[in-house]
Structure formats: C-alpha cells, structure tokens
Amino acid sequence: MSAPTQAPPQAAAATEPGRVAAVWAFLVRTVRSPVPRRLLAVPVVAFVVMLLVFIVAHLLPGDPVTQMTATNSQITPEQVAQLRRELGLSAPLPVQFGDYLKGIFTGNMGTSLYSGRSVTSLLGAALPVTVELALAAWLIATLVGVVTGMIAAHYKDTWVDGLLRTSATVGFSLPWFVVALLGAIVFGVELNWLPILGRMPNSLNYQPTTGFVLIDAVVQNRYELIWPWFQHLVLPATTLAATTAGYLTRVTRSAFLDARTQPFVRTARMKGLTERAIAVKHVLRNSAVPILTMSGLQLGSLLGGAVITESVFSYPGVGSLLVQAAERRDYFLLQGTALTIGLLFTAVNAAVDLAVLAVDPRLRRD
Amino acid sequence: MSSPLSGTASPVGGPASASPVWSGARSRWRRRTVLRRPQAWFAWGALALFVLVLAVGPLIVTTDPLAQDFAPLLPFGSPGHLLGTDDLGRDELARILAGGRPLLIVSVASALSAGLVGSGLGMVAGYCGGALGAAVMWTMDVLLAFPIVLVAILMVAVLGGGSGNAIVAIAVSQVPYFARLAKNLTVAERDRDYVRSARALGYRGTAIGLREILPNLSGQLMVQATSTLAVTAGLSSALSYLGLGQDAATPDWGYMVKAGQQFIFSYPWLCLLPGLLITLFAVACNLLGDDLRDAVSRTPGGGR
C-alpha cells in the first residue's frame, strides 16, 4: 500500500507519464501476487501481535509497582512514584508503547519481577529449548502421521483402516497434559526407562553457547551431552506429538484417497504405468500439498502444546516461563513470553505458507 | 437437534439408494454404518453416563469432598473411602464426582457460546460482506495469529480465575473457527434462489439469516460444535491443570491431576484417575463429532 508511493517521484521526474503508470502497474502486480503479498503480511501481523500483547499486559489487574512494593511496608508514596517513573509506567500510553517497541528491537524487555533477571536473558535461555522440543515433536508426528495415514488409505475399509482411524481419533482427542502424564507414569515411573524431569542432569554442568544441545555438543566438543539430552527429550517430544500424529493420520488418509480418484491417476493407468509408479509419482506428489500445509500449521499448534507439556515435565522452555509468569502475574515476563510465542507462531505460519507456494505451482498463479 | 441428523442416516437418505447404478454401493454403505455404529454407541453412552453420574453422583455420595479425614493416601477399597483418600485425607470418590462438574459446565458453555457468537459473526460477515464483513474476518484472523492455548492463558491472566472467566477465555479462543466456517457457508448460500426469493418478498436481513439460511447451516455448525467440545474440554482441564482455572479449593479434575502429580512415584492413581476421565470425555466428544459428520455428509445437500 505504501510501497508504490515511494518509487514514482524519480520515475516521474525523468520520464513521461506513461512510464509512471507502467511502474505503478508493475508494483501493484508485484504486491498482489501471492509470494510478496504473503511476505508483506508478516510485518503487519507481527505489529498487531506486539500491539495486542502490549494491550493485554496493560489490562492485567494490579500494576507491577504495587506488586514489587507489596512486601515492603516502609516504602513512601514518593518512592513508589519514583519507581513508577523509572520503569516508564507514568508516561502516557503511546510513549510507553514506543518504549516497548524500542525495547523489543534493542533486546531490553524489562526485568522479571519474581527472579530479578532480565526478561531477554531468561527468554534467550528458554527459546532454544522450546524450539528443540517443538521441532522434535513435529518430526515424530509428521513421520508417524503420514506413514499410518498412507497405510490406512491403502487398506481402506478393512479392519486395519478401522483400527488406525479409531486410534487416530483417540490420539487426536487426548489432552496434551494427560498424554504427558500417562507417558511419565508408564515409561518414567513403572518401567523406569526414561527421566521425567528437566532437560539435562545438573551433574553434567552444561553451559549453553547457542542453547541448542546438538550444536553446542559439536562447538564445545562435548559429545557426552547428547545421550542424556536425548533421553530427557524423548518423553516430552513423543507425548506432545501424539495429538498431532492422530490428526495428521486423518489428513493424510483423506488426502491420499482424494488424490487417488483424480482423473490424472486414470490417465497414468491408461498410459500403462505400474501401480507403484502411480502411487509415488502422482498420488504422493499431489497429496503432498494438503499434508504439508496441515503438518506445517500443526508446528504452530505444537508451540502452544509445548506450553503445557513443558509444565508437566518441568522442561525449562518458554512455555514454563509463560505459565510461571501468568501464575505470579510477573508483568514484564508475561509480556515477553507471550510476545515470543506469538512472533514465533507468526514466523512459522508464514514460512509454511511460502513453502506450500513453492511446492504447488498452481497456487502461485493469481 | 440430534434426531433429525441421525434420522437421515436411514437407507432412504443415503447416496446408495439415490444411485442404484453404482454397484456395490449399498453394501459399502452398510459396511460403513455397521463400522460406525459401535463408536457412535460408545460416544452417546459415555456422554450420557458422564452427565448422569456427575448430576446425580454428588447427591448419592454425600461425603463432603473438602472434609479432611486425617487418613491421607488410603488405597482403593478402604472402608468408608471406596477410592481411597488424597494427600490431605479427602475422600477421592466424592472429589471425583464433584470435580467433573466444572469440566462439563465449562466445556459445554464455552463451546456453545463460541458457537453462537462465532456463527453469528460469520453469518453477518458472509451475508453483508463489504467493509463490515472484512472487518469481522480481519479481527478473527488476528485472533488466529496466536496459538489458542496462549489466547486462553492470556485471557485468564487478564480476567482472573473462576469458571465464568474460564468460559469466556476458552470461548474467545474458539470463536474464529466458527466464524470462518459460518462465513464460508453463508457466502455459498447467499445467492441461491430461496434466499433471493425471500429477499424479493421483502423479508428483513435478520429474518432471512435466521429463518432461511441458518437451518441450512445448522448441520455443519453442529458437527463443528461437537468437535469443539473435545477441544474446550482439553483446554478447560489444561487451564485448571496449570492452576489458572478454578481456585484451588473447588474440586476439579484438571487441578486434581496437578495435585496428584507430586505423588506420581508412590500413588500414581491420584493423578491417573482424573486424567483418564478427562481423556474419556474428550474421546467421546470427538467420536460423536465424527459420527455426526458422517450423518451430515450423507444427508442430500448436507455435505456441500
């Protein structure tokens, strides 16, 4: 919208009006075509996310200063007023919003009222943990969901299909924290195969460089970190994946069955292709688009599920921080964690949309 | 609401009888309904049992779910405490019976209110279109820019705990899904002949929406509402699990899971039992949703 107004002045100065119209038309066409339009939407949505989180934080009952000074009975009203000024809470709302935006871009999002540490450093430590967990769960869910969905489609209307569909529905209905708990009881307590608390034993004295253990193990040349990290990751990741896997089984099954009835499959069969070639080259490729879209969109919902799974396993990610912050009304921390999850969600969804556009040329045509 | 839907599952409404040329279709149709039956029975039965037990149970088992007996962590089958006691010596059976009510009330109320508000907004957006429709759908898209768990947690953080606020928080997170569905369905109906003739007869927009269009959307919206019930059940129990739903004194399955979790190594059933009941409820809702979806898509014109 604002992009076209920037370009024309030079063009108009140098040439006749026809050229201006052409440039304008080109810009409009570019903005309207799918890929740039999706890219341009990202900053807009990100801004809206920032604005909403700011509004929510200001709607929270009780302001941070009241909470900070609640335990201190000797504080004078002047000190309270000064504290409020220092935190920038006495300024008018638009000024506060400006400060908040500046803070986001300079990495200064205030201090956690409870732990006294800066929100940025807490988030910096927690973000890689959540990303690892969500990605691991997403890989498991996609793999399991697509494979079982293909099997169910192949054995359509037999007992195999019925069994897989029912278990998919059950898996899809399982609330995140209940699966997590069942996993913890069965594999952590009864069988005692896997650890159920935290991300890494303290005895290993892990000092994050990037926060991603696989990368850190290479960078720090400490390969002994990987196995305990993996053991701690297995339960949270698989229990988080269960719901999504059930959902993707259903999506894959119907996408496969749908693609199998398309005219191009009949054409391929008439051309004399083998059933295997039809399945791989035509059915799989054409059903990939809905599967990819749905599985990608689930990556976003896994970020939400991670909030709950992390709390069950005391996994030190952004979700644990968010829940703590909401429980304790930790103003700046809640603002920071909500913002992080919201922006991550926005970025993931945009990336998925672009990936889908890259895979399916039909969607790129306007 | 459900009887007209299940009524259409009879052979008359099926696609099989509509096209006798399609050989094998009748047996395929029968196989599918036979396969669906046990699940549908399970779903209806489980939900009816839930409602019955949660409504009547606390009247029969009159033990106070909050009374402490100074006999903590008794096992199953203890005299006077059929399901044992929790860590504070409170009767587990009474707590289980009382603790399901918040889940049932919050999940049903939030699914219903999300359905009413979302369908209303979606129908207005779809029927009126223009700037109003764009504004409504844009607001819905903004809500979808956050994970639903985050929306619910933030709403509860702002509003505070308690059943009423949990209902609002969960409903808000589900409104966009209904709005999208209702808008798309309404756009498809808007220019059909029956709507045009109603318009030509001079009916007002609200009358056309409620009396002409809504009956044609109700099947799909019911399916959506039933599936949403499973989601709202999961969300409401998750919120109380996280300590953001009910206050700690009210017995509530989600919070009981949380409280029992510290005894996971020694007394795992304390968190297992309420956890399994929540799961059973959610599974039953989803199976019911599947069954209704099948029934609606078999209705002539219903699966558009």
Q: How far is B223 from A271, CA to CA, in rounded Å? A: 42
B38 backbone dihedrals φ, ψ, rounded to 5°: -60, -40
Lowest average pLDDT, out of A130-134, A156-160, A240-244, B275-279, goes to A156-160
What's the confidence (pLDDT) of residue B175? 92
Is residue B55 a contact partner of residue B79, using CB atoms and an 8 Å limit?
Answer: no
With contacts defined as CB-CB under 8 Å, which chain B residues touch A166? 39
Residues A143 and A17 in one domain: no
Residue A329, pLDDT > 90, answer no
With contacts defined as CB-CB under 8 Å, which chain B residues touch A157? 28, 31-32, 35
Lowest average pLDDT, out of A30-39, A51-60, B279-288, goes to A30-39
With contacts defined as CB-CB under 8 Å, which chain A residues touch B272? 181-182, 185
Is residue A366 a contact partner of residue A35, using CB atoms and an 8 Å limit?
Answer: no
Is residue A99 a contact partner of residue A91, using CB atoms and an 8 Å limit?
Answer: yes
Kindly state the percentage of chain A with pLDDT values over 70.
Answer: 92
With contacts defined as CB-CB under 8 Å, which chain A residues touch B231? none
Residue A225 burial class via C-beta count within 10 angstroms: exposed 0-12, middle 13-18, buried 19 and up: middle
Sequential DSSP letters for A218-279 = HHTT-GGGHHHHHHHHHHHHHHHHHHHHHHHHHHHHHHHHHHHTSHHHHHHHHTT--HHHII
Handedness of CA A194, A200, A205, A209 (dihedral sign): positive
What's the confidence (pLDDT) of residue A1? 41
Residues A302 and A159 in one domain: yes
- Give the distance, in angstroms, between the CA of residue A68 and the centroid of all CA atoms in the same chain: 32
Asked if the Cβ–Cβ distance from B282 to A61 is below 8 Å, we say: no
Is residue B260 a contact partner of residue B252, using CB atoms and an 8 Å limit?
Answer: no
In sequence order, the 6+-apart residues with CB closer than 8 A to the CB of A272 are none
Residue A108 lies in a domain: no
Give the three-state DSSP class for B85.
strand
| Cβ-nearest to B145 among A45, A61, A301 | A45
Asked if the Cβ–Cβ distance from B278 to A56 is below 8 Å, we say: no
Kindly state the percentage of chain A with pLDDT values over 90.
Answer: 3
With contacts defined as CB-CB under 8 Å, which chain B residues touch A177? 237-238, 241, 254, 257, 275
What's the confidence (pLDDT) of residue A298? 84
Residues A133 and A248 in one domain: yes
In sequence order, the 6+-apart residues with CB closer than 8 A to the CB of B259 are B86, B87, B270, B271
Asked if the Cβ–Cβ distance from B147 to A307 is below 8 Å, we say: yes
Residues A187 and A289 in one domain: yes
Task: Give how far B141 is from chain A: nearest CA, Å.
Answer: 9
Residues A162 and A20 in one domain: no
User: Looking at the predicted complex, does its ipTM rise above 0.85?
Assistant: no
- β-bridge partners, B78: B81
Q: What is the mean pLDDT of residues A168-192?
A: 81
Sequential DSSP letters for A24-42 = HHHHHHHHHSHHHHHHHHH
- Give B202 or A9, the one with higher predicted confidence: B202
Q: Which residues of chain B have pLDDT under 50?
A: 1-23, 30-31, 33-35, 300-304
Residue A318 lies in a domain: yes
- For residue A135, the number of C-alpha atoms closer than 13 Å in the C-beta half-sphere is 10
Q: How far is B219 from B94, CA to CA, in rounded Å? A: 38
Q: Read off the CATH number of the domain in which A287 is found.
A: 1.10.3720.10
Residues A256 and A358 in one domain: yes
Structure tokens given for B301: 């014109």
Residues A150 and A253 in one domain: yes
What's the confidence (pLDDT) of residue A182? 84
| Cβ-nearest to B265 among A189, A326, A327 | A189
- Where b means 16+ CB within 10 Å and e means fewer, B122-147 reads bbbbbbeeeeebeebbeebeebbbbb
Q: How far is CA B45 from CA A20, A290, B4, in A?
A: 70, 35, 19
| Cβ-nearest to A175 among B32, B234, B271 | B234
Residues A14 and A144 in one domain: no
Residues A153 and A279 in one domain: yes
Asked if the Cβ–Cβ distance from B272 to A173 is below 8 Å, we say: no
Residues A20 and A156 in one domain: no
Q: How far is B196 from B190, CA to CA, in rounded Å? A: 8
Q: How far is CA B33 from CA A299, A353, B37, in A?
A: 34, 37, 6
* A334: nearest CA partner in chain B: B154
Q: How far is A295 from A142, CA to CA, in rounded Å? A: 6
Residue A195 lies in a domain: yes
Q: How far is A183 from A258, CA to CA, in rounded Å? A: 35
Residue A42 lies in a domain: no
CB pairs < 8 Å spanning A and B: 132
* B157: nearest CA partner in chain A: A326
Residue A48 lies in a domain: no
Residues A283 and A183 in one domain: yes
What's the confidence (pLDDT) of residue B34? 42
- Give B26 or A355, the one with higher predicted confidence: A355
Residue A168, pLDDT > 50, answer yes
What's the confidence (pLDDT) of residue B25? 53
Q: Which candidate in A173, A186, A313, A334 is best for mutational testing of the B interface (most B CBs within 10 A)?
A: A173
**How many C-beta atoms surround the C-beta of residue B113 within 10 A?**
18
Summarised one tens digit per residue, pLDDT across range B79-114 is 666 677 777 767 778 888 888 888 889 999 999 999
Residues A26 and A123 in one domain: no
Residue A70 lies in a domain: no
Asked if the Cβ–Cβ distance from A346 to B145 is below 8 Å, we say: yes
Residues of B with CB under 8 A from a CB of A: 28, 31-32, 35, 39, 142, 145-150, 153-154, 156-158, 160, 230, 233-234, 237-238, 241-244, 254, 257, 261, 264-265, 268, 271-272, 275-276, 278-279, 282-283, 285-287, 290
| Cβ-nearest to B237 among A175, A184, A303 | A175
Residue A75 lies in a domain: no
Residue A172, pLDDT > 50, answer yes
DSSP letter (8 states) at residue A190? I
Long-range contacts of B208-213 (CB under 8 A, 24+ apart): B208/B127, B209/B123, B209/B124, B209/B127, B213/B123, B213/B127, B213/B186, B213/B189
Asked if the Cβ–Cβ distance from B153 to A323 is below 8 Å, we say: yes
- Where b means 16+ CB within 10 Å and e means fewer, A37-73 reads ebeeebeebbebbbebbbebbbebeeebbeebeeeee
Summarised one tens digit per residue, pLDDT across range A201-247 is 777 777 777 778 778 778 877 777 778 888 888 888 988 898 889 88
Q: How far is A280 from A263, CA to CA, in rounded Å? A: 16
What's the confidence (pLDDT) of residue A136? 92
Q: Which domain holds residue A24?
A: 1-32
Question: Any idea of the CA torsion for B275, B280, B285, B290, to the nearest 10 degrees?
Answer: 130
Q: How far is A176 from A240, CA to CA, in rounded Å? A: 6
Is residue A188 a contact partner of residue A195, using CB atoms and an 8 Å limit?
Answer: yes
**How many C-beta atoms surround the C-beta of residue A105 within 10 A?**
7
Domain count, chain A: 2
Residue A126 lies in a domain: yes
Name the one residue in this structure whose structure tokens are 């969607």.
A363
- β-bridge partners, B81: B78
Q: How far is B282 from B91, CA to CA, in rounded Å? A: 25
User: Which amino acid would we find at residue A32?
Assistant: R
Q: How far is CA A210 from CA A77, A291, A342, in A?
A: 44, 32, 22
Structure tokens given for B133: 């429709």
A248 backbone dihedrals φ, ψ, rounded to 5°: -70, -30
